[in-house]
Amino acid sequence: METSHDSTVRLTEANFDSLSKSERPMFVDFWAVWCGPCRVMDPVVEKLAARYSGKMLFGKVNVDEEMNISSRYQVFSIPTFMVFKNGQPMDAVIGAVGEASLERLVKGAIER
């Protein structure tokens, strides 16, 4: 499985649906190379991915390369962070937010 960083999976049209339907909830970071706020959030996402690696899958969707995925879930602003469970989006946070906000998103999905 191709990873974009140490603990996040690079999500593409080829693997998105199967991974989002897995037993574990999936945290998705919608981002782009040119997006400054996305780069600012990257270490926060990596930290959470390391902390919750056994409980949740963490993945990244490059919106420039995977336009069909981002349009399917109506991602118009980046960064957007979305949590999926059983293939369905459960919750989302848009923008460069603090670690606590993202951690609430993660914990909420794990505890459901």
Is the pLDDT at 7 greater than 90? The verdict is no
According to the model, what pLDDT value does residue 85 have? Answer: 93
pLDDT band at 23 (very low <50, low <70, confident <90, very high): confident
Give the pLDDT confidence score for residue 112 in this predicted structure.
Answer: 79
- SS3 state of residue 29: strand
Q: How far is CA 7 from the centre of its chain?
A: 12
pTM, two decimal places? 0.92
Give the pLDDT confidence of 29-76 residue by residue, as tens digits.
999 999 999 999 999 999 999 999 899 999 999 999 999 999 999 999
Residues 6+ apart with CB under 8 A from 25: 55, 56, 57, 83, 84, 85, 90, 109, 110, 112
46: left (phi over 0), alpha (psi -120 to 50) or beta: alpha
Tokens standing for residue 46: 């990596």
Which residues participate in catalysis according to the annotation? 35, 38
Read off the tokens for 48: 């959470």
Domains, in order of start, for the chain: 9-87 (3.40.30.10)
